[in-house]
């Protein structure tokens, strides 16, 4: 019940605090205690969708997070806050005060602080900021929460959860611990949103390139798994592994088990056979597409081998790359789904997205459920919203980190050679201070 009057019959003011957390620690309790001095405390629980875009992936359900706050005696009412920004909730509640820890003055959260101040100016009300609680127990609790999301059981199922929660799942290429950290930590804030990548693509092209090898399935799974392990060590986001052709049917079944066990969420295998070359060569090199039956057998073997409901085997169709047309791609997609594929990736190396859109539209006429994956490397002007509107569920930015790092490193090497010293490279480099503090200490 919301108390609008105190014991003396004076009208109580309303104070609002939003929480984006799976656990209540002493820092949160301190905010609530402080809040209760100002009036009736209304607590907001950030909804799942907004929480993903904000700073953490929920490990407990919205209902449980709500109950956690309802159990705190000083809280008189708990409401859902659906957006990261406060416009709707402030308009609806018209609180006299909004209270928050002062840790949002810097970094991506500063945008939310600005937003709250603008909303309070518009609707009336005051912002109260309390010093953030930096204690050992708070940081231990934060670390435990982060660790929980990094464990294989949780990480593996996170991709399926994302598919339920996100309009489109955004995936960036990774090939090392360092690129994993970029995928994990890069956050940008715009006027009304905070954005980050949802998952990581362990590209065969970029993993091979990082090892100085061609992308022809030469880097074997044992070696790929070392890269997976480096990334798992320092991240919490789900991994989609580029499984090339999946290899021999008999081997694929074993490899599915391994990937599933270490916490990879999905493997994407392409319907090629023999010596695989990178798809972006298209028909410039000889590449052989597998038979529908041959590839279906591989999908079936993988699905039979997997032990959890979480893991996904996504079938990648190369018909457009090999110029076999949309009808061929659609026929294959239907067959692969019947064989048990959990998703379909349609690849194209055209500059325009038209053939991908045409495929997706036709596919969605008869199949509304199976997730569709697109890799807009060649047709890079396409937006996430356009892809989503044609039924795409996962967008993979497959190689951009490698392609940006390589020329930067090459330029630096050339400059040192040209000037016989390093000074001229300095202005483009990360500072020593930044590089030594880039990696979190345990
Ligand atoms: C990769 O990133 O290795 C891929 C996507 O398989 S592509 O390079 O476009 O074929
Ligand atoms: Mg590849």
pLDDT digits (tens, 9 = 90+) for 63-75: 999 999 999 999 9
Atom 7, ligand 1: residue with shortest CA distance: 279
Our answer on whether the CB atom of 279 is closer than 6 Å to any ligand 1 atom is yes
The pLDDT-based confidence of 351 (bands split at 50, 70, 90) is: very high
Residue 362, token pair as written in the block: 């036709």
Give the closest ligand to the alpha carbon of residue 216.
Answer: 2
Atom of ligand 1 minimally distant from the CA of 279: 10
Q: Which of 425, 408, 405, 429 is nearest to 416 (CA)?
A: 425
Would you say the C-alpha torsion 289, 294, 296, 301 has a positive or negative sign? Answer: negative
Would you say the C-alpha torsion 185, 190, 108, 31 has a positive or negative sign? Answer: negative
Distance from the alpha carbon of residue 374 to the mean position of ligand 2, in angstroms: 13
Atom of ligand 1 minimally distant from the CA of 278: 10
* DSSP summary character for residue 382: -
Q: What is the pLDDT of residue 191?
A: 79
Counting residues of the chain whose pLDDT is more than 70, the rounded percentage is 97
Would you say the C-alpha torsion 47, 50, 54, 60 has a positive or negative sign? Answer: positive
Structure confidence by residue, pLDDT tens digits, 77-111: 999 999 999 999 999 999 999 999 999 998 888 99
Our mutation pick for probing the ligand 1 site, out of 174, 209, 278, counting the most ligand atoms within 8 A of Cβ, is 278
pTM: 0.92
Distance from the alpha carbon of residue 17 to the mean position of ligand 1, in angstroms: 45
Counting residues of the chain whose pLDDT is more than 90, the rounded percentage is 82
Contacting residues for 24 by C-beta, under 8 A, at least 6 apart: 68, 69, 72
Structure confidence by residue, pLDDT tens digits, 154-169: 999 999 999 999 999 9
Q: Are 167 and 139 in contact (CB under 8 A)?
A: no
The mean pLDDT of 27-42, rounded to a whole number, is: 96
Our answer on whether the CB atom of 326 is closer than 6 Å to any ligand 1 atom is no
Our answer on whether the CB atom of 21 is closer than 6 Å to any ligand 1 atom is no
Identify whether 198 is a catalytic site residue: no
Q: Are 270 and 244 in contact (CB under 8 A)?
A: yes
Distance from the alpha carbon of residue 389 to the mean position of ligand 2, in angstroms: 26
Distance from the alpha carbon of residue 188 to the mean position of ligand 2, in angstroms: 28
The pLDDT-based confidence of 6 (bands split at 50, 70, 90) is: low
- Find the catalytic residue in 215, 242, 271, 342: 215
Atom of ligand 1 minimally distant from the CA of 268: 6
SS3 assignment, position 430:
coil
Contacting residues for 146 by C-beta, under 8 A, at least 6 apart: 56, 236
Atom 10, ligand 1: residue with shortest CA distance: 279
SS3 assignment, position 352:
coil
Our answer on whether the CB atom of 396 is closer than 6 Å to any ligand 1 atom is no
pLDDT at 5 over 80: no
Our answer on whether the CB atom of 205 is closer than 6 Å to any ligand 1 atom is yes
Does an H or E element contain 14, and which?
strand 14-19
Give the closest ligand to the alpha carbon of residue 200.
Answer: 1
Q: Are 45 and 66 in contact (CB under 8 A)?
A: yes
Q: What is the pLDDT of residue 271?
A: 98
* DSSP summary character for residue 10: P
d(CA 102, CA 298): 54
Our answer on whether the CB atom of 203 is closer than 6 Å to any ligand 1 atom is yes
Q: How many CB atoms lie within 10 A of CB 111?
A: 19
């Amino acid at each position: 019940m919301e108390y609008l009057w105190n014991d003396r019959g004076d009208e109580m003011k309303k104070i609002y605090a939003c929480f984006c957390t799976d656990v209540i620690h002493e820092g949160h309790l301190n905010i609530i205690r402080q809040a209760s001095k100002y009036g009736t405390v209304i607590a907001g629980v950030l909804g799942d969708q907004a929480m993903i875009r904000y700073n953490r992936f929920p490990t407990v359900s919205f209902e449980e997070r709500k109950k956690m706050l309802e159990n705190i005696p000083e809280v008189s009412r708990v409401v859902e806050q659906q957006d990261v920004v406060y416009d709707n909730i402030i308009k609806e509640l018209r609180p006299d005060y909004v209270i928050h820890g002062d840790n949002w003055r810097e970094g991506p959260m500063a945008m939310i602080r600005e937003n709250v101040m603008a909303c309070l100016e518009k609707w009336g009300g005051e912002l109260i900021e309390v010093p953030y609680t930096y204690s050992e127990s708070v940081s231990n609790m934060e670390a435990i929460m982060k660790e929980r999301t990094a464990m294989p059981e949780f990480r593996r199922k996170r991709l399926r959860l994302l598919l339920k929660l996100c309009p489109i799942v955004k995936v960036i290429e990774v090939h090392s611990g360092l690129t994993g950290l970029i995928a994990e930590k890069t956050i940008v804030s715009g006027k009304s949103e905070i954005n980050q990548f949802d998952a990581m693509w362990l590209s065969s092209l970029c993993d091979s390139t990082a090892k100085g090898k061609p992308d022809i399935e030469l880097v074997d799974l044992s070696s790929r798994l070392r890269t997976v392990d480096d990334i798992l060590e320092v991240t919490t986001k789900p991994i989609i592994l580029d499984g090339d052709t999946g290899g021999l049917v008999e081997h694929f079944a074993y490899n599915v088990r391994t990937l599933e066990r270490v916490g990879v969420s999905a493997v994407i295998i392409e319907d090629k056979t023999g010596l695989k070359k990178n798809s972006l060569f298209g028909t410039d090199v000889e590449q052989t597409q597998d038979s529908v039956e041959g590839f279906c057998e591989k999908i079936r073997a993988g699905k039979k081998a997997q032990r959890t409901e979480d893991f996904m085997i996504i079938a990648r169709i190369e018909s457009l790359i090999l110029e076999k047309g949309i009808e061929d791609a659609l026929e294959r997609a239907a067959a692969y789904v019947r064989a048990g594929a959990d998703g379909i990736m349609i690849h194209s190396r055209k500059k325009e997205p038209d053939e991908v859109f045409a495929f997706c539209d036709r596919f969605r006429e008869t199949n509304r459920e199976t997730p569709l994956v697109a890799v807009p490397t060649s047709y890079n002007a396409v937006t996430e919203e356009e892809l989503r509107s044609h039924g795409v569920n996962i967008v993979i930015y497959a190689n951009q980190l490698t392609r940006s790092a390589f020329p930067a490193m090459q330029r630096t090497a050339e400059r040192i050679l040209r000037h016989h010293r390093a000074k001229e490279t300095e202005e483009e480099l990360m500072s020593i201070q930044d590089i030594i503090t880039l990696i979190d200490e345990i």
